[in-house]
Structure 1
Amino acid sequence: MSTTSSAGRAGRKFTAVVAVTGLGLVALSACGSSGSGSGAGDEKTVTLVSHDSFAASKSVIEEFEKESGYKVRVLKDGDAGQAVNKAILTKDNPQGDVFFGVDNTLLSRALDNGLFQPYEAKGADKVAEEYRADQGKHRVTPIDSGDICVNYDKAYFTEHELDPPKSFADLTKPKYKNLLVTENAATSSPGLGFLLGTAAAYGDGGWEGYWKKLRANGVKVVDGWEQAYNEEFSGSAGGRKAGGDRPLVVSYASSPPAEVIYADPKPKTAPTGVADGTCFRQTEYAGLLSNAENTAGGKALIDFLVSKKFQEDMPLNMFVYPVVDGAKVPGEFTAYGPQAEDPATLAPAKIADNRDQWVKSWTSLVLK
């Protein structure tokens, strides 16, 4: 939603972090005190555990610290999937007070393992209805959203006088043979999201057949977002330097604006585009960790994460969209990376019931 080796956006044992939470281009600009543990004995420190892609403006963090009286300590615990798994393993003696970065693809795993305790955040009523989950129990609070989509290299398609693909079905056509690189669904958040998108589009009885066609059409699979986007994809700044030769990559709808914002000099238009018919929507959540030592500080921090101040700070730090009604989105997002109008989605219960078996079947089908 996610950032370093992606999102967060991450494997969410899912190993590429929410790139949009992504893109490995931004780093946390403000951290509180450092050290080990969750600040035991220090009631004035609140610890946020997250994936490597968490980022926020220093001034915004400082404003929260001044208003709340709590010093923020951020503990980054690897990619999102690794961070979630570690949080589950340490839930009886948690590393912090709040966890941020579990998304809808792995939310059921966190909830089923008792990772969070109930807390209804102040301002949660302003979160758009489409992003809410676990209503009635309030164990998690929606914080951001982002779309996993196939990105394309505009220059390649112009040079080859070829229209870029628009849909999942297009990707199986002969004219796009050997052009797509995606991430491993068992080790990467965007890879998993892309798999879920195909499951949503083709259903239980059709997604495997779709992947057989995609495999026959030369799809390349790599471990994570960082390799796919910054090494294999010909349209990214990193890919161009690395000699990437794949003009189609599974990434995020927010990747094009990042290519503009971080370019020097800045181009007038984004060098990459998004195939809108290939998008799957991710939502990231935060929750008060079970057995948190500083529950009061944790609650205040979750309130802050859903505040308009933080919500409007997120897009240009983590390349994700706010979920609170009325939060403004930067012009660069509107111009270069608008959210998909009709992204694929799956009910959390559907993901929970099928995710592990889908990944197992996908691995057998695509990688063997």
Structure 2
Amino acid sequence: MNRRVFVRGVGGGAVAGLAGCLTRNGETDDPAVDEGPLRVVTYSSMATGPTPAGEWLRETVADEFSEEVEWHVPESGIDQYIRRAQLGADVGADVVLGLTAAELALVDATLDDETRLFASLDRSRLDYADRVRDALEFAEPRDRALPVDTGYITLVYDAIELERPPETFDDLLAGRFRDALLAQDPRTSDPGRAFLLWTVAEFGSDFTAYWRDLRDNGVRLCEHWTEAYRDSYLDGDRPLVVSYSTDRVAASAADRDLRRHRIAPLNGAGYRQTEGVALFAEAARTDLAYEFVDLLLSSAAQAELATRNVQFPAVEPEFVDLDDRFPRYAREPPETVTLGYDDLRGELDGWLGEWANEFPE
């Protein structure tokens, strides 16, 4: 959940830089790169924390395939790999885990058709690809990503501090919610970007006017989900935060007061954010990468991702057996809002620019 905070220095393997990966034509100063670890780009909470899903994946890959996983958690997220591709430098990674439709749209809006960052998937090499729920598929023309989990952006509120939560977007502008909301910067945070897209879906071209009203009502913007949720909301700084409808799963596991972890869908809905996995076009360990992707869609991995990453599985329900805590506390909003790849490509950059004009640094 940034949840996607991009930092360097992650457990389970060193974070590689550009050294030893100077070109994209196969030349490298590391002759053993084809025999090295599987280099997986992801976000910090996947690889770090008390019980991260990444640690289970690393141990499972070691047990089942006798191979090593090396986590790469870049400060600038997918932008780092877009820049490498533009420079003609080797991306230095095999797989990206946690890719969203918005990030895929940004890749395609930035790179020309001749510069491939991700490979089209050969689904015939995957035993479990047909388990994925049809509604979650990325539906982009080159079939480069497979869903691995999904979640819903909603508001989480403190029922001790708030007698009743906001029920609509307009409610958030009321005086009783002045200086109450914690949100994330959509340029640096995946949940923040999802919340921005939700307002685009709700208000269309008038979304910037809504954000001006939020600003006037005292919304506090944080760079990442961790800063907004862990560092501010859990400390009691404010009683409302943009987060996930699965919040109570993690809160119950941490034995927190669940009165401070109530879910508030806006307009009876939540914004669906699906995370996927993709192979870099010039991956060194392609065979192992396909084995890793198939592992992610296995029943065991889907259960672990749901429990540890606190997101809904991407596969059909009959293929995964969840811990009792998840169905008890995870909430799926009555209605779903989402913008797909076709909605985002060619538009997202513009929306982010318009938003940035309202919130200059």
- Scaled by the length of structure 1, the TM-score of the pair is 0.80
Question: In structure 2, what is the Cα distance between the partners aligned to 1:213 and 1:147?
Answer: 24
Instruction: Determine the structure 1 residue equivalent to 2:305.
Output: 314
Structure 1 residues 67 and 103: alpha-carbon distance in aligned structure 2, compared to 1, 3 A threshold: same
The answer on 1:53 being equivalent to 2:45 is: yes
Question: In structure 1, what is the Cα distance between the partners aligned to 2:246 and 2:230?
Answer: 15
Structure 1 residues 62 and 177: alpha-carbon distance in aligned structure 2, compared to 1, 3 A threshold: closer
Deviations 1:276-297 (A, max 9, x none): 1262111111111111111111
User: Which amino acid in 2 is paired with 1:176?
Assistant: F
Question: In structure 2, what is the Cα distance between the partners aligned to 1:298 and 1:180?
Answer: 41
Instruction: Determine the structure 2 residue equivalent to 1:289.
Output: 280
Question: In structure 1, what is the Cα distance between the partners aligned to 2:185 and 2:55?
Answer: 34
Unaligned regions of 5+ residues in structure 2, if any?
22-29, 47-51
Deviations 1:32-86 (A, max 9, x none): 68877698445363222222122327555434433334332323324xxx23112
> Which of 128, 136, 143 in structure 2 is aligned with 1:131?
136
> Which of 313, 328, 337 in structure 1 is aligned with 2:321?
328
Question: In structure 2, what is the Cα distance between the partners aligned to 1:109 and 1:292?
Answer: 20
Matches within 5 A, 1:1-368: 2=1, 6-8=2-4, 10=5, 31=12, 40-43=32-35, 45-54=37-46, 55-56=52-53, 58=55, 61-78=58-75, 82-91=76-85, 92-111=89-108, 113=111, 114-121=116-123, 122=126, 123-134=128-139, 137-157=142-162, 162-204=163-205, 206-233=206-233, 236=234, 239-240=235-236, 244=237, 246-263=238-255, 267=257, 269=258, 271-277=260-266, 279-326=270-317, 327-367=320-360
Question: In structure 2, what is the Cα distance between the partners aligned to 1:209 and 1:170?
Answer: 15
**Aligned partners of 1:197 and 1:280 also within 8 Å:** yes
Deviations 1:193-234 (A, max 9, x none): 111111111222x3223223323322222322222223432x
Structure 1 residues 309 and 178: alpha-carbon distance in aligned structure 2, compared to 1, 3 A threshold: same
Question: In structure 2, what is the Cα distance between the partners aligned to 1:90 and 1:300?
Answer: 26
1:156 Cα offset (Å): 0.4
Q: Secondary structure at the match of 1:309?
A: helix
Question: In structure 2, what is the Cα distance between the partners aligned to 1:48 and 1:75?
Answer: 6
User: Which amino acid in 2 is paired with 1:189?
Assistant: D
**Aligned partners of 2:157 and 2:261 also within 8 Å:** yes
Question: In structure 2, what is the Cα distance between the partners aligned to 1:76 and 1:141?
Answer: 20
1:259 Cα offset (Å): 2.0
1:152 Cα offset (Å): 0.6
1:363 Cα offset (Å): 2.1
**Aligned partners of 1:152 and 1:274 also within 8 Å:** yes
Instruction: Determine the structure 1 residue equivalent to 2:26.
Output: none
Question: In structure 2, what is the Cα distance between the partners aligned to 1:130 and 1:142?
Answer: 10
Query: Over aligned residue pairs, what C-alpha RMSD do you find?
Result: 2.8
Question: In structure 2, what is the Cα distance between the partners aligned to 1:180 and 1:315?
Answer: 27
Question: In structure 1, what is the Cα distance between the partners aligned to 2:182 and 2:244?
Answer: 13
**Aligned partners of 1:151 and 1:250 also within 8 Å:** yes
Question: In structure 2, what is the Cα distance between the partners aligned to 1:68 and 1:44?
Answer: 13
Q: How many residues are treated as equivalent by the alignment? A: 329
Structure 1 residues 363 and 41: alpha-carbon distance in aligned structure 2, compared to 1, 3 A threshold: closer
1:366 Cα offset (Å): 4.2
Question: In structure 2, what is the Cα distance between the partners aligned to 1:60 and 1:222?
Answer: 30
- Scaled by the length of structure 2, the TM-score of the pair is 0.81
1:87 Cα offset (Å): 2.2
Unaligned regions of 5+ residues in structure 1, if any?
17-26
**Aligned partners of 1:260 and 1:270 also within 8 Å:** no
Question: In structure 2, what is the Cα distance between the partners aligned to 1:187 and 1:33?
Answer: 23
**Aligned partners of 2:140 and 2:342 also within 8 Å:** no
Question: In structure 1, what is the Cα distance between the partners aligned to 2:259 and 2:276?
Answer: 29
